[in-house]
């Protein structure tokens, strides 16, 4: 497998905010601590050295419980978290069915490889890659499907609340319909577990077998107890709303589009099949879409007795993560990292070190069939990222045996009219406007002729152009990058070694777009 790289800005698929962040533009520097270069991890280690030994004990206990029924658990890594020279690098994602889009795998690969790179650079320390399961999420429509070979497979259920608690008992039927080799692992994961969290942990653990990956479900009473002081402050006397709003206003003034909007209370009430927003109305706290209502004293008592019933939203989930993990960097996609830029003030308010914000690996995988087509069509790596109109236009110009551009004729025409204008000025200056109008008509005619020439040439190259557009659609289905649409099974069923191959090929600290070409 060949690896090629291209700058983010050349791909046309990343926001200006993300590109400006990773290239270190001055305008964004106040919104993060340091860029995620390997030499900057040393200072981050120093900041995190004060991480609580008591919290390490709680974390160790929670992970040991969660892995008790998982075959061959990463116990050595879990035990290492008790040591004060052990740190984590974390990526997080929803519990998408069958892992969802391809980039899920690339995020985890980046975490694993970052831990390896850090161990090589800083051998006195231990580094554990962590996948944070977004088990408390309740947006089921975002996770209940995946795309495979042009078809969408969907899990339908009437269950509500935090998705990690859903029973996936009927999910295995989906893989029976697919009827592809190598899907048994996926079917077993859902058939043999009574919660989506457990099924996802098992599946990801098996996909990344023989790595140091640790998978954490933070929907845990002990871990919420660690976060309890912040829960109390943020529910009873919230500060993050104003902090994030002020930061968002600064970003807006710099013409950077913000990703998330803070609430006055940035917690959901989580119990049973309920995950609903907590709001304050006068002197009462209410849980939306329920009959639950609490006085301030009752709410304070509830936080003391049941911190597990308080689920942070997108504003406070990152803070929760950094409070319960000895974490150095967060590895995320472009939209994720952009919304983290809105949160630095919250971390400063609670005196919690802000992590390094590290882009995940971005990958375009070209299998051997499409690699062969790319070579036959004589396309460069950069060509693959062009929009269809530009790609078609450039292909016709490159492959035509005839000269299709009329640049020379346009230049000759402009020269001729310039000469006519000079002569007219000597006779009657009022003719200048008429002559220039005729010039524009002539230029328009030449433009139409050039378009006709190109269309005629396109008809001659119709077979090749159809092949070109089919290749583009395969790599960018419905115009979206492959990694955001296709599922890992689209590769895994034919190449079960793919995950080990990307772990070998991808550099998590080389911030460019990766193009993997499978040999043919």
Whether 318 and 330 have beta carbons less than 8 Å apart is answered as yes
> Would you say residue 393 has pLDDT above 80?
yes
**pLDDT tens-digit map of 463-482:** 888 899 999 999 999 999 99
Whether 102 and 150 have beta carbons less than 8 Å apart is answered as no
| Cα separations in angstroms, 101 against 98, 145, 520 | 9, 10, 25
Look at residues 299, 259, 262 and name the one whose alpha carbon lies nearest to residue 280. Answer: 299
**Beta-carbon neighbour count of residue 221 at 10 Å?**
12
50: left (phi over 0), alpha (psi -120 to 50) or beta: alpha
> Would you say residue 276 has pLDDT above 80?
yes
Residue 167: CA atoms inside 13 Å, Cβ hemisphere, count? 7
Q: Which two tokens stand for residue 486?
A: 């296709």
Q: CA 420, CA 516: separation in Å to the nearest integer? A: 57
Sign of the C-alpha dihedral, residues 35, 36, 42, 44? positive
Assign 24 a pLDDT band (cuts: 50, 70, 90). Answer: very high
**Strand blocks (E) in 204-283:** 214-217, 267-271, 274-281
**pLDDT tens-digit map of 405-420:** 767 778 888 888 988 8
Structure letter (DSSP) for residue 112: H
Sign of the C-alpha dihedral, residues 422, 423, 429, 434? negative
pTM (2 decimals)?
Answer: 0.88
Measured at the alpha carbon of residue 85, what is the angle toward residues 83 and 86, in degrees to the nearest 5? 70
Dihedrals φ, ψ of 162, to 5°? -70, 125
For 187-195, the CB contacts below 8 A with 24+ separation are 193/168, 194/167, 194/169, 195/164, 195/165, 195/166, 195/167, 195/168
Q: Which two tokens stand for residue 5?
A: 């790289």
Q: Please give the average per-residue pLDDT across 159-166, as a whole number.
A: 95
Which residues are CB-neighbours of 39 under 8 A, at least 6 positions away? none
According to DSSP, the β-strands at 267-271 and 310-312 are antiparallel
**Which string of DSSP letters, residue by residue, matches 297-366?**
HHHHHHHHH-GGGEEE-TTTHHHHHHHHS-EEEEEE-HHHHHHHTT-HHHHHHTT-PPPEEEEPPEEEEE
Task: Give me the pLDDT at residue 62, please.
Answer: 98
Assign 401 a pLDDT band (cuts: 50, 70, 90). Answer: low
**67: β partners:** none
**Strand blocks (E) in 370-428:** none
Rg of the Cα trace of the chain? Answer: 28
Q: Please give the average per-residue pLDDT across 433-450, as a whole number.
A: 86
Helix (H, G, I), strand (E, B) or coil at 282: coil
**pLDDT tens-digit map of 214-263:** 999 999 999 999 999 999 999 999 999 999 999 999 999 999 999 999 99
């Amino acid at each position: 497998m060949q690896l090629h790289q291209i700058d983010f800005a050349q791909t046309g698929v990343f926001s200006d905010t993300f590109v400006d962040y990773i290239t270190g533009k001055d305008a964004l520097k106040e919104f993060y601590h340091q860029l995620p270069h390997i030499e900057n991890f040393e200072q981050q280690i120093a900041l995190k050295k004060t991480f609580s030994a008591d919290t390490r004990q709680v974390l160790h206990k929670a992970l040991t419980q969660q892995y008790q029924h998982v075959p061959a658990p990463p116990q050595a890594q879990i035990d290492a978290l008790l040591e004060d020279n052990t740190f984590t690098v974390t990526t997080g994602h929803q519990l998408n069915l069958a892992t969802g889009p391809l980039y899920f795998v690339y995020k985890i690969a980046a975490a694993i490889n970052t831990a390896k790179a850090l161990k090589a650079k800083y051998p006195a320390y231990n580094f554990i890659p962590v996948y944070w399961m977004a088990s408390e999420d309740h947006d089921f429509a975002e996770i209940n499907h995946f795309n495979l070979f042009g078809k969408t497979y969907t899990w339908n259920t009437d269950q509500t609340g935090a998705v990690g608690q859903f029973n996936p008992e009927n999910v295995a039927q989906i893989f029976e319909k697919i009827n592809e080799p190598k899907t048994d692992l996926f079917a077993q994961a859902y058939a043999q577990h009574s919660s989506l969290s457990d099924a996802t942990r098992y599946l990801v653990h098996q996909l990344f077998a023989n790595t140091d990956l640790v998978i954490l479900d933070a929907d845990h009473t002990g871990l919420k107890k660690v976060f309890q002081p912040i829960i109390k402050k943020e529910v009873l006397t919230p500060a993050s709303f104003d902090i994030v709003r002020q930061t968002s206003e600064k970003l807006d003034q710099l013409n950077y589009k913000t990703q998330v909007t803070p609430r006055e209370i940035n917690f959901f009430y989580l119990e049973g099949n309920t995950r609903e927003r907590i709001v304050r109305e006068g002197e009462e706290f209410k849980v939306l879409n329920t009959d639950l209502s609490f006085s301030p004293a009752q709410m304070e008592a509830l936080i003391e007795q049941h911190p597990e019933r308080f689920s942070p939203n997108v504003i406070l989930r990152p803070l929760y993560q950094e409070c319960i993990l000895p974490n150095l960097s967060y590895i995320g996609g472009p939209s994720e990292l952009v919304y983290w830029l809105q949160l630095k003030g919250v971390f400063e308010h609670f005196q919690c070190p802000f992590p390094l914000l590290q882009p995940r690996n971005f990958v375009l995988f070209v299998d051997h069939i499409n690699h062969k087509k790319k070579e036959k069509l004589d396309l460069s790596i950069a060509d693959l990222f062009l929009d269809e109109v530009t790609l078609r236009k450039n292909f016709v110009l490159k492959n035509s045996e005839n000269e299709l551009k009329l640049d020379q004729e346009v230049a000759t025409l402009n020269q001729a009219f310039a000469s006519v204008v000079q002569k007219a000025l000597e006779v009657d200056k009022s003719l200048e406007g008429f002559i220039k109008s005729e010039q524009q008509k002539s230029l328009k005619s030449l433009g139409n002729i050039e378009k006709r020439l190109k269309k005629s040439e396109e008809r001659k190259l119709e077979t090749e152009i159809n092949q070109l557009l089919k290749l583009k659609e395969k790599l960018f289905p419905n115009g979206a990058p492959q990694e955001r649409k296709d599922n890992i099974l689209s590769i895994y069923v034919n190449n079960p070694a793919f995950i080990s191959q990307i772990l070998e090929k991808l550099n998590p600290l080389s911030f460019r777009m990766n193009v993997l070409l499978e040999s043919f």
